[in-house]
Structure 1
Amino acid sequence: MSRREDSNRKRALRDILAYEDTITVDVEKTVQKVRERAKTLHAELDMYITNILNQIKQKFEQELNKIRYTVDKLKTNDHSPTRKGTSRSSSMDKSPRYRSTPRSSLDFSLHSRTSVSYVDVDEMHQYDKKEIHFVEGEANDKVFERLVGHYTFDTTTPITFNAVQRSIISDNKSEVKLVKTFKVGDKSETVHAIATVEEDQAWICCGWGSRNLSLYDRHGQKKKTASLDIQVNDACTFHDGKDDSVLVSSFREKSIKRLNTDSLRTSDFAYISLFPGGLAADRRSGLYVCFRDSYQRQAIFGSRRMVAKLSKHGEIVATMEKNEEQTNLFGYPFRIAVNTNGDICVSDYGDGTRGVTILTKDGRVKCWYRGPPTGIASDQPFLPHGIVCDEDGHILVSDWNNDCIHVLDKDGNFLLNLISKKDGLEGPNALGLDKRGYLWVGDSHGVVRIFKYSVYDG
């Protein structure tokens, strides 16, 4: 074993032992919180039951006082006629006696008196009787979860075992050919937006904070440049049912603009109170946008991190933010793509949520992809950036940390690494697919590479 491999194994051993200590402490803290919550709920339940019993006592006393009042009035105001030769007292003796409700079986101590106003018996048309029933409340897992709370047990940053580089045996094969490499910016600038148009062209933005979008063809020739009044975050082509245009998100200005590719003028498409990021259009004039409420990578309590669907007029028609347990689906949603089956694929590099989240078209979580399986060579934790879907339903996502492009099937299963560092990639960021199936890859050094590829599923 080489010195490097031995060092890596020792580091992995140290990390996993530290993880054992950390999760042990976390579990102990969580168990203690659950027990404290149980004590609090027991006290609150006892108080609630006491209040119910007191209310029942009060209602019973009010009704009992009303009964007694009415009986007394009926006895003292009896003006019924008597027969000739029969005394009033004898007539009353023959009338039914009032029998009070026995209370020996009721465990109530009615010491307080409640002030109740009664209508005179002579003015009463009827006496309204009452019934009392007890309706049992629900007792199921969902109710208990709302009362007690719930725990999460999520995967965070993985511990990598990269002492020995191994290749996975797979039936999945691919063919990749580099077609063109060209520079679109300085070596220190990142290509962060690629919006493919027509059959062999794409609008590209290079450099965070840039206000320029430039149109390049597949041969690397710049055709024209649009200077915008906003800083560009992402861009995508969009068809509103009549015309084609390019939509541009601006994280800083919290707006989405429509670029007329002929006049190179922009118009307002949508203004949102959150910061817009990745954009993707479906085939029905719908637009999907990644939104965040801050620049912070880690979501805190109350943070807004979501994907929203906008109509062709720029109105929000649906949001995807929380799961059934009302916890956030995303930590830092970055880029987004719509698959051929309507699934919504989101790259997320937030702390604790890093990976690819795949949602069905109605917003339910279908699956997560947290990185390649054991046995795939990777030097660093998976860090997803750009994402696109091809005509065969494959999901392609750039891994910035490991300088490669992962290919997933439509169910989020890893198939293979399509392109890697040996193909010249270094810090791949933006991805684009044109209509002829050419893959455009923008990196962190102002370079765009165009590949022709095929994936053969085993």
Structure 2
Amino acid sequence: MESRKFAQGFLSRSLRSRRTADETLKLLQRNEAKFDKDIEEACTVEGILETEYNAASEVIKERAAKLRTLVDAYVEHMKVKLKINRERNLETLKQVKETARQRLKKLRSDIEKLTEVVKPDVTSGSLVNKVKVVEMVLQSIDVASAFNTNKLLVRTELNIRTQTLNDETVKQWIGDLNESEVQIIDILYPVKCVGQITSHEDTDINAMSVCESGELFVNFGASHTLTQLSKGKSHNVLNAGFPIDDLITTPDGKIICTSKDSFKIHCFSPKRKQPAKFDDTVLVKDSLHLHGLTLCNLSGVFAVCGTDKPNYSDEKSNETVIMEYTFTGKEVKRLMISGYTGKVYRMSQNINNEYILTFPKEGTILSVNTVGKIQFSFSNEDFIRVCAPSKTSSATRLHMEEQEVAFWPSGIACNAIGHVFVSDWLNKTVLMFDEKLSIIRTLGDRFFGPNALCYDKKNNALVVSDRKVIQLWKTT
């Protein structure tokens, strides 16, 4: 009996040990994979740094050469100026000396004459004659005239008064010398704000689209009007007659837009010199509520998402469909999203032809392929797990988990290399994802109410709308 218990105990310990060993092995293998990835990323960064070093060295050489050219030009300019002023001053002094010599010669002659006539001369004639001679000599002497030595001389100032070389010129070639720490993620996935457009309205930008020529069309606060921003100027180009919800611009300059919970898609052809209101064409009519417009990678085609319940209501959707249309309103394809129903707010198509959709009320982003199958997702729970920083208190995390959603994805855009950008209106930030919706980083430090996003292919920049300000970001 005891031997049997011993055998059972030994078997149990063996199984536990084997299980522990298996778990430990798996842990070690995961750690091995992680360290392999860390080494791979470090090697990637090493290569990037080496490339940057070589490129920066060439730029420094070029800037140094230009600075030498500027300095040499300044030195030559000042040498010529010094020489001209020196010759001018020498000529002035030569004239001064010559005038002084002539005056001195005249003075000496006058002194000699006057000395001669005032000598006591007992043999001279009458006193009357003596007086007349003195008066004649005095009349020949110009006692009142004085020698003017106040001649204007030129001093060469060595401070730089020309635009040949100044602080701004130097900065242009040297740049700011302030040093800052750079994280690995900034090297692997650089993002930089390269410009901004200041709007004149303190309200959310509901929808935004950039045309191929680079002009930006903006809808403020779901209003009836559409504003065009170009070269720092803005003007209203459209009064749709209904509150605009989303919009896109076609390559030939037409504007396609939807209204809140509408069954229609409208198409406008605004012209600069026409009145602010235009007769529109109803491009599409459907039985579903239409939201989230995007241009497709396939030329001449756009897509919209439809739900069987209004987005701006508390009714739960039972059907979520992606529909593709030509610019003339002909239906190309209809995709039922498999395994998920929700209220889409915005959508975009990535370079791999997958549709990326935002569901603010559910706190979810989905990537859907060309047959309607969900490929990747990022949820409210993922946001709490990944984006809540480690320093966040447990109470704060619990509060986030207790909220209906802690993550409110709204605007969306994809850049030229497949990165996905989503504005999080609730947390006032813009998130950057890869094609698999794995979060990479955030943009900038602080926004006030980011909403609409779009990608400007002409300038290769992400356009981010915030309250009062629209920013341009380089993301590659």
Aligned to 1:295: 311
Q: Does 1:277 align with 2:286?
A: no
CA offsets per residue over residues 4-46 of structure 1, 9 Å max, x none?
Answer: xxxxxxxxxxxxxxxxxxxxxxxxxxxxxxxxxxxxxxxxxxx
Partners in 2 of 1:233 and 1:252 — Cα distance? 9
CA spacing shift, 1:364–1:406, aligned 2, 3 Å: same
Report the alpha carbon displacement of residue 252 of structure 1 after superposing the two structures with TM. 4.8
- Is the Cα contact below 8 Å between 1:175 and 1:454 reproduced in 2? yes
- Is the Cα contact below 8 Å between 2:297 and 2:353 reproduced in 1? no
Report the alpha carbon displacement of residue 307 of structure 1 after superposing the two structures with TM. 2.3
Structure 2 residue ranges without an equivalent (≥5): 1-182, 401-405
Partners in 2 of 1:342 and 1:420 — Cα distance? 31
Determine which of 336, 341, 360 is the counterpart of 2:352. Answer: 341
CA spacing shift, 1:358–1:260, aligned 2, 3 Å: same
Q: Does 1:268 align with 2:277?
A: no
Partners in 1 of 2:315 and 2:334 — Cα distance? 18
Q: Which amino acid aligns with 1:330?
A: T
Determine which of 382, 387, 395 is the counterpart of 2:412. Answer: 387
CA spacing shift, 1:223–1:198, aligned 2, 3 Å: farther
Q: Which amino acid aligns with 2:193?
A: K
Q: Which amino acid aligns with 1:233?
A: D
Report the alpha carbon displacement of residue 304 of structure 1 after superposing the two structures with TM. 3.2
- Is the Cα contact below 8 Å between 1:310 and 1:316 reproduced in 2? yes
Partners in 1 of 2:219 and 2:352 — Cα distance? 29
- What secondary structure does 1:174 align onto? coil
Partners in 2 of 1:257 and 1:375 — Cα distance? 39
1:6-45 counterparts in 2 under 5 A?
none
CA spacing shift, 1:418–1:330, aligned 2, 3 Å: farther
Q: Does 1:221 align with 2:228?
A: no
Q: Which amino acid aligns with 2:228?
A: L
Partners in 2 of 1:322 and 1:389 — Cα distance? 20
Partners in 1 of 2:267 and 2:370 — Cα distance? 24
Aligned to 2:473: 452
CA offsets per residue over residues 291-318 of structure 1, 9 Å max, x none?
Answer: 2321356553x63333222233324443
Q: Does 1:318 align with 2:333?
A: yes
Aligned to 1:365: 374
- Is the Cα contact below 8 Å between 2:337 and 2:373 reproduced in 1? no
Q: Which amino acid aligns with 2:301?
A: G
- What secondary structure does 1:450 align onto? strand
Partners in 2 of 1:364 and 1:280 — Cα distance? 19
Aligned to 1:413: 438
Report the alpha carbon displacement of residue 320 of structure 1 after superposing the two structures with TM. 3.1
- Is the Cα contact below 8 Å between 1:182 and 1:448 reproduced in 2? yes
Report the alpha carbon displacement of residue 281 of structure 1 after superposing the two structures with TM. 1.1
Q: Which amino acid aligns with 2:474?
A: Y
Q: Which amino acid aligns with 1:311?
A: T
- Is the Cα contact below 8 Å between 2:246 and 2:293 reproduced in 1? yes
Report the alpha carbon displacement of residue 211 of structure 1 after superposing the two structures with TM. 0.9
| Max Rg structure | 2
Q: Does 1:307 align with 2:328?
A: no
Report the alpha carbon displacement of residue 227 of structure 1 after superposing the two structures with TM. 1.0
Aligned to 1:433: 455
Report the alpha carbon displacement of residue 197 of structure 1 after superposing the two structures with TM. 1.0
Partners in 2 of 1:201 and 1:322 — Cα distance? 34
Partners in 1 of 2:453 and 2:337 — Cα distance? 27
Greater CA drift, 257-266 or 373-382 = 373-382
- What secondary structure does 1:449 align onto? strand
Partners in 2 of 1:375 and 1:432 — Cα distance? 23
Report the alpha carbon displacement of residue 375 of structure 1 after superposing the two structures with TM. 5.7
Q: Which amino acid aligns with 1:440?
A: V
Partners in 2 of 1:426 and 1:415 — Cα distance? 21
- What secondary structure does 2:250 align onto? strand
CA offsets per residue over residues 411-432 of structure 1, 9 Å max, x none?
Answer: 21111112341xxx11211012
Partners in 2 of 1:295 and 1:364 — Cα distance? 22
Partners in 2 of 1:172 and 1:356 — Cα distance? 24
CA spacing shift, 1:448–1:273, aligned 2, 3 Å: farther
CA offsets per residue over residues 51-102 of structure 1, 9 Å max, x none?
Answer: xxxxxxxxxxxxxxxxxxxxxxxxxxxxxxxxxxxxxxxxxxxxxxxxxxxx
Report the alpha carbon displacement of residue 399 of structure 1 after superposing the two structures with TM. 0.8
- What secondary structure does 1:419 align onto? coil
Q: Does 1:179 align with 2:195?
A: yes
- What secondary structure does 2:321 align onto? strand
CA spacing shift, 1:235–1:169, aligned 2, 3 Å: same
Deviation beyond 4 Å, 4+ runs, structure 1 = 168-171, 296-299
Partners in 2 of 1:296 and 1:206 — Cα distance? 18
CA spacing shift, 1:299–1:410, aligned 2, 3 Å: farther
- Is the Cα contact below 8 Å between 1:298 and 1:350 reproduced in 2? no
Q: Does 1:231 align with 2:243?
A: yes
Determine which of 218, 236, 255 is the counterpart of 2:264. Answer: 255
TM-score by length of 2: 0.52
Aligned to 2:32: none
Q: Which amino acid aligns with 2:270?
A: T
Report the alpha carbon displacement of residue 392 of structure 1 after superposing the two structures with TM. 0.9
CA spacing shift, 1:256–1:184, aligned 2, 3 Å: farther
CA spacing shift, 1:454–1:322, aligned 2, 3 Å: closer
Larger relative contact order, structure 1 or 2 (CA cutoff 8 Å, min sep 6): 1
Number of equivalences: 270
- What secondary structure does 1:283 align onto? coil
Aligned to 2:365: 356
Structure 1 residue ranges without an equivalent (≥5): 1-167
Partners in 2 of 1:340 and 1:289 — Cα distance? 17
Report the alpha carbon displacement of residue 257 of structure 1 after superposing the two structures with TM. 0.9
Report the alpha carbon displacement of residue 383 of structure 1 after superposing the two structures with TM. 1.0
CA offsets per residue over residues 173-228 of structure 1, 9 Å max, x none?
Answer: 3231251241242x2x32111010134311110012x11111112x4411442111
